[in-house]
Structure 1
Amino acid sequence: MAGDDQPSAAAKDASQPSPSTAKDRLAQVSNHVSPNTPKRRRRKGADSDLPADYSDILGQIATLRKMAATPDPNNRGYVRQKQAGKLWVRERVEQLLDPGSFQEVGSVSGTVKWKQLGPVKEEPEEYVPSNNVQGFGKLRGRKIVFTADDFSIRAGHADGALMEKTIYMEKLAIALQIPIVKLVDGSSGGGSVTTIRTNGFSYVPPLPSFTQVVQQLNMGIPNLGAVLGPAIGLGAARVVACHFSVMAADIGSLFNAGPNVVKNATFEEGLSFTDLGGPSMHCTNGTIDNLAPDEAGCFEQMRTVLSYLPDCGTKLPPIIECADPIERASESLRSIVPRARNRMYDPRKIITEVVDSGSFFEIGSLWGTTAIVGLARFGGHPVGIVSLNCEVNAGALDALGSQKVTRMLKFLDVFNIPLVQFVDVPGYAIGTVAERTATMRHGITLATTYYSTTMPIFSVITRRVYGVAGGIMLDCRDPRMRVAWPSGMWGSLPLEGGIEVGHSFELKEIERNEGKEKREARYKELEDEYRRLMNPVRTANAFGIEEIIDPKDTRRVCCEWVAHVYESLLPSRIMERVAGKIKPTFT
């Protein structure tokens, strides 16, 4: 049919959308792209008033730091500090450290009273800093961490301290493997009865920081402590535990508990800090190593000791340039030891003549005086020094002398410092005083320390080597590294007394049968014979002593040995220590 060839009107209308339908679809797409919803207005809150650059927070920190760094002349603690002739804690830090090197850690720790300025705004109104200033600094260019007590705030007691700060610094020294310096004035965070009232309960005393302290000591991380006021309880323990400690003579004291506690416990009344634990007490019994005239002297001694030490036990000690010629001969050493056997001489003159000029630093000069120990350099290389002191008790090692040398050996071992010792030892001290003070007990502790440490040892025999003490000092390394001077004398016993023991029956019989004069004549014959046989050259003939040198060449011989140790032995020793094959202990 004719109608079948033409599309219907309805189909044509469906294939072509109407203008209204297209507009509807366009509007629908537009609404999806950018919905036509009303914008919500942000509600204005308290935070909108705060500066975008956080200057308010930075301002609070600056204010607190300024308050901490500004002493209050009306504060009774500060007044007391100054009346005692002591530096304020931040003055100490400034004097101790290299200029501009102080970086404080925990600079705003303490108790703050805040003044509210708005819903969220506030500012510091009052501030009591924690009574310990701590952080980083430098000593002669060497980076350190340090802790310094502020006695003007609660006398350094725990109720004015934040123990977490001190523990953190102890941990930092281990993690960063750098030295730590401790300026002690007060209890250094120790206990106070007022803490019980504050907490509302008593407590079993904790000692959380000593785990790190022991670890530092054995790792060879230098611990240097100074007593700059009364060091009490925990404060005393912290400084005594150090590798090296020094006390200021004008203001220093140290004790387990103060005079008021002592009065009630032991009924000793009227004691001052100095009476109880001043320099005359603790710098002469070995509790504190050295004495300095004042605070500045303490700081200088700590700088000096640190200059000989590595940052930790897995590093070499620092080597410096040396202007003193290695080949320098010392003719005076030929005559320094008298030919008369009973005459004494100054052993310190031998030390200072042989080591690099001006490099000898003595440790513990006021206690254990039968022995001399310290640090020095040969050709710029740090070494430890041990010598017996013939001017005190004829050089016989007593209990305190043995303790002093024992401590020095452990010190050198943890710091990888070789030992040069000048040996003139008649043996251990004898007599009732020696027996009462347990000389043999401490002498055997010294012996085990000689044999258990591993740092290299070189010995110069200047005169006598007798008995167990002599054998310990010279036979503790295999092979032995030693030389002797022409003045050397050695044996199981000194002739004085030794002849009496060895020929007791013969001499008694002569005296009984022929009289005292004949006995004395026979004694003289025996003495002359033994002295002839004790010629050191005869010992060298039998290779009982490896070499006898001209005393004037001692410096050259020692310098050559020390240089070889630093070049060949210490690097391999440090590798073994890193690998855990060598584990020196100071504690």
Structure 2
Amino acid sequence: MGSKPDKPTSSSPTDRLSQVTNHINPPNTPRKRRQKSDSALPADYSDILAQISTLQNLAANPDPNHVGYARQKAAGKLWVRERVNRLFDPGTFYEVGSVAGTVEWKRLAGIKEEPVAFTPSNNVQGFGALRGRKVVFTADDFSIRAGHADGALVEKTIYMEKMAIELRLPIVKLVDGSSGGGSVTTIRTQGYSYIPPLPSFSQVAKQLELGIPNLGAVLGPAIGLGAARVVSCHFSVMAGDIGSLFNAGPKKASRLTDLGGPGMHCTNGTIDNLAADEEGCFEQLRTVLSYLPNHGLALPPVIKSQDPVERSCGSLRTIIPRKRTRMYNPRTIIETVVDAGSWFEIGALWGTTAITGLARLDGRPVGIISLNCEVNAGALDALGSQKLTRHLKFLDTFNIPLVQFVDVPGYAIGTVAERSATMRHGVALGTTYFSTTMPVFSVITRRVYGVAGGLMLDCRDPRMRIAWPSGEWGSLPLEGGIDVGHAAELRKIEKEKGKEARELRYKELDEEYRRLMNPVRSANAFAAEEIVDPALTRRITSAWVKHVYEELLPIRLMDRANGKIKPVFY
């Protein structure tokens, strides 16, 4: 059967033009408006913004009857957001992850819902400013699960660690708890146990390598991962009234004695400094940061000094006693030479045979090292060597030149010194002196003896150093040195002529050696490059530091950017 013929269509030009016109300008026929449903959402997203605002308000205003919050206040500790507000410059706190946490939602009509309860992530993180310097930070909230891991904490922490690297900003860590360390309750929540991961530590290692300042404060019990995070910092401080540090939880550690507190960890070098309270910790964090660049490819910040470079230090002419057995206060020398009020000591309670810290000369940051003749006569012991090693690496990391005041009789001797591996740590100090590359200027104030003296003064070529008229040096001090070098002669005299004759000969030898050890004789032979009036020390060191900042440090930064210099902190 044949098919029906198609219906004829209009093909006139007028019909085709009419069709095209209708497509371009459709007829103005009114459309029916759709009825607004009860679940319609506002065009300005005010519903979402209201939910965020509600959660932020819940996080910022905790229930005072909450057991964790009540425990925090009963322990005399600031709540985490109180800490943040007191630490940072007013109005500079910007939170990242402000609504991360666990929410209890109430279902409304349609797809609408509203939060009725909120347990924030137990770590407040974000940005802030310390005396105008922008930083990233993490702050544990011990009032929630004692700072143990929750669903958002690890990711938040890793994110901020990465931000510090990406933005080249210092990072501040306020530790109170485990900083996201594990809890056995996680096993019940997940239904299985796990091999402990440590995903954030690769970022920490990279920050240390890049010279991004890591500053930590112990504001409660730093436990496990929390302890590791603060100890890995370039600088750490503990609040003496509430701070403690444990490798494991306090219950496990409580079976032992004398663990955790500042009396342990601020005297063994685990934590650098002690502060009386939280406010003291905050002030130390601000102060340390003021000496440091944002990262290793920048210069330390220079400020205008009100202390004249030409200021004479006449009191230094008499600070070293002529009687060699008398001691003096080495910190007085430091405070006299550097800009007034700029001396900040690091590690005052441990490794006390050595003194380390930061200061300024004409507004420029410098590292300071001095030996402490008031402890063990200044002989370097194991802890003193470790302290100096750490400080040298710190200065090298942040491109800070070193000014050192040298009065060292050598390494400590005796049973205690040998049991604590003094020579091993002394050699480690020596390799650090010679492997770091920041500029070094030495001021010989009194004694330079043995290997310890040699490695401190011979670590740069050419040497940049001056000596005071009180300087004395040699392979070993005369006390003991005469006994060793003239042992056979003195034994023979004592055997043949008696003890009195031996003592007389010893006195003759002592006087002869002391006459020959006149520092001017060393300068005659150019064994001491220059002996100067101690009153000129500030002027001389300030001029050197000025040259270093203007000429040498810019070259160092280029070398570091090109990979020629690779400081290592840990």
- Using the size of structure 1 for normalisation, the TM-score is 0.93
Structure 1 stretches lacking a partner, 5+ long: 1-20
CA contact (8 A) 1:153 1:160 kept: no
Q: What is residue 512 of structure 1 aligned with on the other side?
A: 495
Matches of 2:349 and 2:495 in 1, distance apart? 49
CA contact (8 A) 1:414 1:584 kept: yes
Counterpart amino acid of residue 22 in structure 2: S
Distance 1:192 1:518, change over 3 A: same
Distance 1:22 1:506, change over 3 A: closer
Structure number with bigger Rg: 1
For 1:277-292, list aligned pairs within 5 A: 277-292=260-275
Residue 260 (structure 1) shift: 1.7
For 1:217-296, list aligned pairs within 5 A: 217-262=208-253, 267-268=255-256, 275-296=258-279
Kindly tell me the number of residue pairs found equivalent between the two proteins: 560
Residue 581 (structure 1) shift: 1.1
Structure 2 stretches lacking a partner, 5+ long: 1-8
For 1:45-64, list aligned pairs within 5 A: 49-64=40-55
For 1:51-130, list aligned pairs within 5 A: 51-130=42-121
Q: CA RMSD in A?
A: 1.9
| Structure 2 residue 447 is matched with structure 1 residue 464 | yes
CA contact (8 A) 2:38 2:110 kept: no
Q: What is residue 132 of structure 2 aligned with on the other side?
A: 141
For 1:526-541, list aligned pairs within 5 A: 526-541=509-524
What is the SS of the residue equivalent to 1:277?
A: coil
Distance 1:28 1:571, change over 3 A: closer
Counterpart amino acid of residue 250 in structure 1: D
Matches of 1:545 and 1:141 in 2, distance apart? 45
1:1-51 deviation per Cα after TM superposition (whole angstroms, max 9, x unaligned): xxxxxxxxxxxxxxxxxxxx9997645543454379999868768797100
CA contact (8 A) 1:159 1:192 kept: no
Matches of 2:44 and 2:38 in 1, distance apart? 13
| Structure 2 residue 405 is matched with structure 1 residue 417 | no
Residue number among 108, 123, 139 corresponding to 1:132 in the alignment: 123
Matches of 1:260 and 1:346 in 2, distance apart? 43
Residue 460 (structure 1) shift: 0.2
Q: What is residue 383 of structure 1 aligned with on the other side?
A: 366
Residue number among 148, 152, 171 corresponding to 2:143 in the alignment: 152
Q: What is residue 198 of structure 2 aligned with on the other side?
A: 207
Counterpart amino acid of residue 461 in structure 1: I
Matches of 2:475 and 2:385 in 1, distance apart? 19
- Using the size of structure 2 for normalisation, the TM-score is 0.95
| Structure 2 residue 22 is matched with structure 1 residue 34 | yes
Counterpart amino acid of residue 368 in structure 1: G
What is the SS of the residue equivalent to 2:303?
A: coil
Matches of 1:25 and 1:492 in 2, distance apart? 115
Q: Which shows bigger deviation, 33-42 or 289-298?
A: 33-42
Matches of 2:343 and 2:148 in 1, distance apart? 38
CA contact (8 A) 2:253 2:259 kept: no
Q: What is residue 439 of structure 1 aligned with on the other side?
A: 422
Q: What is residue 486 of structure 1 aligned with on the other side?
A: 469
1:431-476 deviation per Cα after TM superposition (whole angstroms, max 9, x unaligned): 0000000000100110000000000000000000000000000000
CA contact (8 A) 2:389 2:429 kept: yes
Residue 331 (structure 1) shift: 1.2
CA contact (8 A) 1:46 1:119 kept: no
CA contact (8 A) 1:159 1:194 kept: no
Residue 164 (structure 1) shift: 0.6
Matches of 1:262 and 1:488 in 2, distance apart? 50
Q: What is residue 297 of structure 1 aligned with on the other side?
A: 280
Q: What is residue 580 of structure 1 aligned with on the other side?
A: 563
Residue number among 184, 206, 220 corresponding to 1:193 in the alignment: 184
Percent sequence identity is 74
CA contact (8 A) 2:293 2:299 kept: yes
1:214-249 deviation per Cα after TM superposition (whole angstroms, max 9, x unaligned): 111121111000000000000000000000000001
For 1:296-375, list aligned pairs within 5 A: 296-375=279-358
Residue 567 (structure 1) shift: 0.7
Counterpart amino acid of residue 578 in structure 1: A
Matches of 1:461 and 1:22 in 2, distance apart? 111
What is the SS of the residue equivalent to 2:150?
A: helix
For 1:168-187, list aligned pairs within 5 A: 168-187=159-178
Counterpart amino acid of residue 239 in structure 1: V
